Structure 1
Amino acid sequence: MSFQTPLTINEVITDIHAKKYLLPSIQREFVWSQEQIKTLFDSLMRDYPINAFLFWKIPKHKASEFKFYEFLRDYHQKDNTHNPKANISGTDDVMAVLDGQQRLTSLYIALKGTYASKLSYKRWDNPQAYPKKRLYLNLLSKPESGDCEFDFDFLTDTESNEKDDTHHWFPVGNILDLKEQDEVNDYLLESGILLNTDKEKGKFANRALFKLHKVIHVNPIISYYLEQSTELDKVLNIFIRVNSGGTTLSYSDLLLSFATAQWENRDAREEINDFVDEINEIGHGFNINKDIVLKACLVLCDIEDISFKVDNFNRTNMLKIESQWDNITKAIRDALTLISSFGFSRENITSNNLVIPIAYYLKTIGLPNNFDVSTSKIEDRQKIKRWFVSSLLKRVFSFAPDGVLKPVRDIIKQYSSSGFPLDKIVERFKGTNRALQFSEDDINNLLYSKYGQGDTLVILSILYPWADFRHNFHIDHMFPKSEFAPKKLAATGVPEDKITEFIENCNYIGNLQLSKTFFYHYRLTFGYIENTNVI
Structure 2
Amino acid sequence: MAKTKTAIAITDKKTAIRDPKPEVQRIEVLASRILDGDILLPKFQRAFVWDRTQILELLDSIMNNYPIGSVLLWLTTQRLRSEKNIAGLAIKDRALEYPVNYLLDGQQRLSSICGALFWDSQDKNSQWNVAYDLRKQQFFHANTLDDLPLHQVRINKLPDAAAFFKHVAGLDTLTSDDKLLLKERAEELFKRFKDYSIATVTLSDMPIGSVAPIFERINSTGTRLTMVDLMRAATWSEEFDLVDSIDEDILGALKDKGFGSIDRKSVLRNFSAASGRSFTADGIDDLRNCNISELKNAAQTTLDAYRRAVDFFATEMKVPNSNVIPYVNQVVVIAEFFRVCPNPTKSQRDEITRYFWKTSLTGYFSGWNTGQMAADKKMLEEFSEGIISALSTHEAMPTDEIWRVRQFRLNNAHAKLLALLLAEQGPRDLLTGQKVTLDQALAWENDKEYHHIFPKSFLKQRGVASQMANCVANFAMITSSSNKLISNSRPSEYFKKVRSELGADFSAVMASNLISDEAMVAAMQDDFDAFISARSVTLHAATRKLCGLD
TM-score normalized by the length of structure 2? 0.69
The aligned runs of 1:218-367 (5 Å cut-off) are 218-219=195-196, 221-261=197-237, 265-275=239-249, 278=252, 281-283=255-257, 287-304=261-278, 306-308=280-282, 312-316=286-290, 319-336=293-310, 338-339=312-313, 342-343=318-319, 345=321, 347-349=323-325, 351-366=327-342
Deviation at 1:356, TM superposition (A): 1.0
CA contact (8 A) 1:44 1:215 kept: yes
> Which among 69, 72, 75 is matched to residue 54 of structure 1?
72
CA contact (8 A) 2:405 2:471 kept: no
**Do the aligned partners of residues 103 and 336 (structure 1) sit closer, same or farther apart at CA in structure 2, a change above 3 Å counting?**
farther
**Do the aligned partners of residues 500 and 141 (structure 1) sit closer, same or farther apart at CA in structure 2, a change above 3 Å counting?**
farther
Q: What residue number does 1:372 align with? A: none
Deviation larger for 4-13 or 99-108: 4-13
Q: What residue number does 1:106 align with? A: 112
**Do the aligned partners of residues 337 and 152 (structure 1) sit closer, same or farther apart at CA in structure 2, a change above 3 Å counting?**
farther
Counterpart AA for 2:20: S
- Look up the SS of the partner of 1:19 in the other structure: coil
CA contact (8 A) 2:62 2:192 kept: yes
Q: Find the aligned partners of 2:324 and 2:354 in 1 and give their Cα distance.
A: 16
Q: What residue number does 2:383 align with? A: 415
In structure 1, stretches of 5+ residues that fail to align are 76-83, 117-127, 143-149, 369-375, 487-497
Deviation at 1:42, TM superposition (A): 0.9
Q: Find the aligned partners of 2:96 and 2:300 in 1 and give their Cα distance.
A: 34
What percentage of residue pairs aligned between the two structures are identical? 18
The aligned runs of 1:367-386 (5 Å cut-off) are 383-386=351-354
CA contact (8 A) 2:383 2:390 kept: no
> Which among 60, 82, 88 is matched to residue 68 of structure 1?
82
- Look up the SS of the partner of 2:365 in the other structure: coil
Q: Find the aligned partners of 1:248 and 1:502 in 2 and give their Cα distance.
A: 40
**Do the aligned partners of residues 10 and 140 (structure 1) sit closer, same or farther apart at CA in structure 2, a change above 3 Å counting?**
closer
Q: What residue number does 2:177 align with? A: 199
Alignment: residue pair count = 455
**Do the aligned partners of residues 330 and 240 (structure 1) sit closer, same or farther apart at CA in structure 2, a change above 3 Å counting?**
same
- Look up the SS of the partner of 2:439 in the other structure: coil
Counterpart AA for 2:190: H
Counterpart AA for 1:12: L
Deviation at 1:34, TM superposition (A): 1.9
CA contact (8 A) 1:57 1:95 kept: yes
Q: Find the aligned partners of 1:37 and 1:24 in 2 and give their Cα distance.
A: 22
> Which among 374, 380, 397 is matched to residue 406 of structure 1?
374
Q: Find the aligned partners of 2:295 and 2:39 in 1 and give their Cα distance.
A: 31
**Do the aligned partners of residues 54 and 380 (structure 1) sit closer, same or farther apart at CA in structure 2, a change above 3 Å counting?**
same
Q: Find the aligned partners of 2:470 and 2:20 in 1 and give their Cα distance.
A: 65
Deviation at 1:58, TM superposition (A): 0.7
- Look up the SS of the partner of 1:24 in the other structure: coil
Q: Find the aligned partners of 1:251 and 1:26 in 2 and give their Cα distance.
A: 13
**Do the aligned partners of residues 95 and 475 (structure 1) sit closer, same or farther apart at CA in structure 2, a change above 3 Å counting?**
same
> Which among 387, 411, 417 is matched to residue 355 of structure 2?
387
Deviation at 1:422, TM superposition (A): 8.1
Counterpart AA for 2:177: K
Deviation at 1:503, TM superposition (A): 7.8
Counterpart AA for 1:218: D
* 2:398 is the alignment partner of 1:438: yes
Q: What residue number does 2:499 align with? A: none
* 2:204 is the alignment partner of 1:186: no
- Look up the SS of the partner of 2:130 in the other structure: strand
Q: Find the aligned partners of 1:208 and 1:283 in 2 and give their Cα distance.
A: 56
Q: What residue number does 1:11 align with? A: 29
- Look up the SS of the partner of 2:159 in the other structure: helix
Deviation at 1:303, TM superposition (A): 0.9
- Look up the SS of the partner of 1:500 in the other structure: coil
Q: Find the aligned partners of 2:451 and 2:231 in 1 and give their Cα distance.
A: 47
* 2:472 is the alignment partner of 1:509: yes
Deviation at 1:252, TM superposition (A): 2.2
Q: Find the aligned partners of 1:318 and 1:449 in 2 and give their Cα distance.
A: 46
Q: Find the aligned partners of 1:153 and 1:162 in 2 and give their Cα distance.
A: 12
CA-atom RMSD, angstroms?
A: 4.2
CA contact (8 A) 1:32 1:102 kept: yes
Deviation at 1:478, TM superposition (A): 6.2
Q: Find the aligned partners of 2:64 and 2:410 in 1 and give their Cα distance.
A: 48
> Which among 346, 350, 365 is matched to residue 397 of structure 1?
365
**Do the aligned partners of residues 503 and 298 (structure 1) sit closer, same or farther apart at CA in structure 2, a change above 3 Å counting?**
closer
Q: What residue number does 2:491 align with? A: none
- Look up the SS of the partner of 2:332 in the other structure: helix
Q: Find the aligned partners of 1:305 and 1:482 in 2 and give their Cα distance.
A: 43
Q: Find the aligned partners of 1:161 and 1:389 in 2 and give their Cα distance.
A: 59
Deviations 1:85-132 (A, max 9, x none): 99665351111111112211222222334899xxxxxxxxxxx9x954
> Which among 153, 156, 172 is matched to residue 155 of structure 2?
172
In structure 2, stretches of 5+ residues that fail to align are 1-18, 428-436, 442-447, 483-504, 513-541
> Which among 462, 470, 494 is matched to residue 421 of structure 2?
462
Deviation larger for 93-102 or 401-410: 401-410
**Do the aligned partners of residues 96 and 354 (structure 1) sit closer, same or farther apart at CA in structure 2, a change above 3 Å counting?**
same
- Look up the SS of the partner of 1:176 in the other structure: coil
Deviations 1:303-328 (A, max 9, x none): 15732478613333764332232121
- Look up the SS of the partner of 2:190 in the other structure: helix
Deviations 1:267-297 (A, max 9, x none): 4443233246526734556543332222221
Q: What residue number does 1:26 align with? A: 44
Q: Which has the higher helix share?
A: 2
Q: Find the aligned partners of 2:477 and 2:377 in 1 and give their Cα distance.
A: 35
